[in-house]
Amino acid sequence: VKQSLERFQLDYIDLLQCIFDKETPIEEMVMHASIMHDVVQAGYVRYIRISSCWAYQCAYMLHFCSIMRLQTNSLLSFHAKPLYREEECEIFPTLKVFGVGSTPWPPLARSALIRPLGQQTDRGQTDS
């Protein structure tokens, strides 16, 4: 991170995003939590955004941070599914307990909510 700041002639990074897929082992997430703490404490990064993990993974990592007194300044970015909102039932209470904010992506379900029902798009056929 320090080398990137020097290369781009910046004093700090506003938001550093860590993307985990749903198969990332919790041990790897915890290891990253310790690293995130270090870069926040050093002043290189202001906020950390964790992306795409299950509620139990997020809770485990945030609980670890709490026990170890690690500062993360966290924000969770989750895959918002306006047509299927079950995930929110688990993730929002978890975030509230730990005082973590959230940002949904993509908020319009890849435009499914703003175009005629059944209409296909090129992106809909190429996105996974």
Residues 3-56 have pLDDT tens digits of 999 999 999 999 888 877 777 787 787 777 788 888 888 999 988 888 777 788
Whether 93 shows a pLDDT value over 80: the answer reads yes
Please tell me what DSSP assigns to residue 60: H
Contact (Cβ atoms closer than 8 angstroms) between residue 78 and residue 39: no
Whether 128 shows a pLDDT value over 60: the answer reads no
Contact (Cβ atoms closer than 8 angstroms) between residue 110 and residue 124: yes
Q: Strands of the chain (E only): list them.
A: 13-19, 45-51, 74-79, 101-105
